[in-house]
A = this chain, B = another copy of it.
């Protein structure tokens, strides 16, 4: 269940944006068109050739209603329709020259309205607003398929993200207390302050500019690489991302001449354990502990390379 405060903010935003869009006025942008007319004309004008079904589906319009709108557009010679040769039931809709002109005029007015509203913002603010819009859309529009995950080196703020995400997730899922967050922060902090680029690395998985996973290799001395803070965000689990991150670590450890990778985990983290087993790690020790509240089974795994 999402945080009610978040939902509330979102509702506030929706109320504001309903107003902002000016959806409620009958005459859209001072044109002879209604909002629905405009949406239809826009869709036809920008896609070139569409069928009525596709239009009805995308714009969520009643087919009967759409049919009437198209009929009117036809009699105003804004569009032309002819039967689709591959399916004679279906009509292919195209804009006429006049329709194209109207479509462009609509675009100009819409642009002008937005430009007027953007004008009072600085350039930086404008970009900020648009990137926020992209953020929202990428998350809420099912059509926009999530951007592919990429693995990259860490940047400022990433370590904080790791701490935040892990502690939040494991608190929620396993009831661990804040000592866990403290441990993660200390481990991550030491990693950063003593960072040795020649022997150590931190990888972040991100998708569409948003972090979704992480792992790091720290030098444990004595030819041992410590694999730490493997984490994959809830929303991105089941895609093999954890495996990819671990493989990244193994390759790195090989390349840097480590003789062994060692890691500490808790057996309750089944997905992670499955990855380690799959990559040939072997369990060398385990102990019951209550470091984070509930009793857990801490385990040390190693992989010789």
Contact = CB atoms under 8 A, between A and B. Distances in A.
Interface of A: 1-21, 23-25, 35-36, 39, 42, 59-60, 110-111, 114-115, 117-130, 132-137, 139-141, 147, 154, 156-168, 171-172, 177-179, 181-195, 206, 208-211, 233-236
A62 to B, nearest CB: 10
A116 to B, nearest CB: 9
Given A147-B9, A171-B157, A139 B129 contact: yes
Contacts of A185: 159-160, 163, 185-186, 188-189, 192
Given A21-B21, A160-B161, 17 more contacts: A1-B115, A2-B119, A2-B126, A6-B126, A10-B130, A14-B21, A124-B164, A159-B164, A160-B168, A163-B185, A178-B192, A178-B195, A182-B189, A184-B189, A185-B192, A187-B189, A188-B189
A35 B24 CA distance: 10
The secondary structure that dominates the A interface is helix
A44 to B, nearest CB: 14
Given A24-B60, A186-B185, A139 B121 contact: yes
Contacts of A236: 122
A124 B165 contact: yes
A59 to B, nearest CB: 8
A210 B121 CA distance: 12
A221 to B, nearest CB: 19
A129 B134 contact: no
A208 B5 contact: yes
A163 B168 contact: no
A16 to B, nearest CB: 5
B181 A7 contact: no
A193 B179 contact: yes
A119 to B, nearest CB: 7
Given A23-B23, A118-B6, A183-B193, A210 B11 contact: no
Contacts of A8: 208-209
14 contacts: A9-B130, A12-B137, A15-B42, A24-B35, A121-B139, A124-B211, A132-B135, A156-B172, A159-B167, A160-B162, A161-B164, A164-B164, A181-B192, A183-B193
Pick the 3 closest A-B CB pairs, nearest first. Answer: A160-B164, A182-B192, A185-B189
Contacts of A164: 124, 157-161, 163-164
A257 to B, nearest CB: 24
